[in-house]
Amino acid sequence: MILAVPAAWGPPLPGQFISLAISPRHTGGPEGSLLRRPFSVAGYSKAGGRARLSLLYAPVGRVTHRMVLLEPGTSLDALGPLGRPFPLEFQEPAALVAGGRGVAPMLFLARELTRTGRRCKVFYGAKTAYQLLPPERFHPAPVSLATDDGTRGRKGPVGELLDEESARERPGAVFACGPEPMLAALARWALARGIDCHVSVEAVFGCGLGLCGGCAIPAAGERRGFVWACREGPVMDAREVDWDAWDRMHARDLDRREGGGGSPSGRAGKREAR
């Protein structure tokens, strides 16, 4: 989806998101949402008095299925840019790891880094080949692919691909976005090797402003307790997250969904918006 915004808006930074209000009047039917939907920014460009904002999403939920029906020229209520972005000062080269629909902010980050002459490589994984975007979308950044079923690239988790290739060149920093188990594995891998790691965390974003508490992430270190992913994140230093506690939360959520529960909105957090 491409949104036209005033040139004075933003500009967004890689890792930030916007929050859209999708009401029944936008979809031409009774389906809408009382909650805003968060969308990672996948690209941004400016020319003259206008700017273009790129969003990437999959029609996996009730509202995003309706969004496919939006007509060109529809005006939407957008709030943003929101959240903490990826740091742009780091030791090169950077490894950009994208899992599934977590590819959206990594597209923006790869373009920004290559535009400014920073060395980076993309490691992009999905369950199967048809879920992958064309790797040319990352041009000119080099891309290595992995799929769980081996239909394209290396067979297995994308984190294992990073581990293999790091034997040839050790990354100076790891930036990642994807499912929580992938992020947890990458965080542990990087921290064990003394490599800076920043992740775009996954949680249910309700308000997008840190008011509703739906995006609570267990915090590590002296902070303890919880932090709000929409406000302190979505990009967080891997050292700020209590990964063991988050693993337990994730396992409980899976148990509830398998038992007929799940999130009240019937979505899997920020990922629906990508």
Residue 63 lies in a domain: yes
What integer pLDDT is reported at residue 258 of this predicted model? 54
Q: Looking at residue 254, what is its pLDDT?
A: 65
Closest by Cα among 65, 58, 64, 45 to 2: 45
Which secondary structure element, helix H or strand E, spans residue 235, and what is its range? Answer: strand 235-237
CATH assignment of the domain containing 14 = 2.40.30.10
**The tokens of 150 are what?**
């081996």
Answer whether residue 43 is part of any domain: yes
Query: Longest C-alpha distance within the chain, in Å?
Result: 55
In single-letter form, the type of residue at position 219 comes to: A
- Please report, for residues 16, 97, 259, the alpha-carbon distance to residue 40 in angstroms, rounded to integers and kept in the order given: 6, 15, 30
8-state DSSP, 61? S
Q: Letter for the amino acid at 91?
A: Q
Q: Enumerate residues 6+ apart whose C-beta is below 8 A from 139.
A: none
Q: Which residues have C-beta within 8 Å of that of residue 148, sequence separation ≥ 6?
A: 125, 126, 127, 128, 155, 156, 157
Mean per-residue pLDDT over the chain, rounded: 85
So what's the pLDDT on residue 17?
94
Q: Give a yes or no: residue 224 inside a domain.
A: no
Residue 107 is predicted with a pLDDT of 97
Kindly report the number of other CB atoms within 10 A of residue 251's CB atom. Answer: 11
pLDDT value for 34 = 57
Q: What is the pLDDT of residue 89?
A: 93
Q: Mean pLDDT, 10 residues at a time, over the chain (274 residues)?
A: 88 93 61 71 89 88 80 87 95 97 96 96 97 96 97 96 95 96 96 97 75 83 82 93 87 61 32 40
Question: Is 18:65 a contact under the CB 8 Å cutoff?
Answer: no
39 lies in some domain: yes
Q: Would residue 221 count as lying in a domain?
A: no
Element (H, E) at 18: strand 17-21
Does 11 map to a domain?
A: yes
Number of domains in the chain: 1
Residue 58 lies in a domain: yes
> How many whole angstroms separate alpha carbon 99 and alpha carbon 216?
21
Residue 113: per-residue pLDDT: 97
Q: Label each residue of 121-140 as H, E or C.
A: EEEEEECCHHHCCCHHHHCC
pLDDT at 274: 37
Peptide bond into 14 cis (omega under 30): no
Q: List CB contacts of 121: < 8 A, sequence separation 6 or more.
A: 93, 94, 95, 96, 141, 142, 143, 144, 165, 171
How high is the pLDDT of residue 262? 29
Residue 70: give the domain boundaries. 2-82
Residue 71 is predicted with a pLDDT of 85
**Ramachandran category for residue 17: left, alpha or beta (phi over 0 → left; psi -120 to 50 → alpha):** beta
Q: What angle do CA 100, 73, 79 make, to 5 degrees?
A: 60
* Consecutive H or E run containing 113: helix 103-115
Q: Decide if 263 is inside a domain.
A: no
Q: What is the model's pLDDT at position 174?
A: 98
pTM: 0.87
pLDDT of residue 61: 76
For residue 272, the model assigns a pLDDT of 40
Beta-strand runs (E) in the chain:
2-6, 17-21, 37-47, 50-55, 77-82, 94-99, 120-126, 143-147, 154-155, 173-177, 196-200, 216-218, 226-228, 235-237
Q: Reduced to 3 states, what is the DSSP secondary structure of residue 104?
A: helix
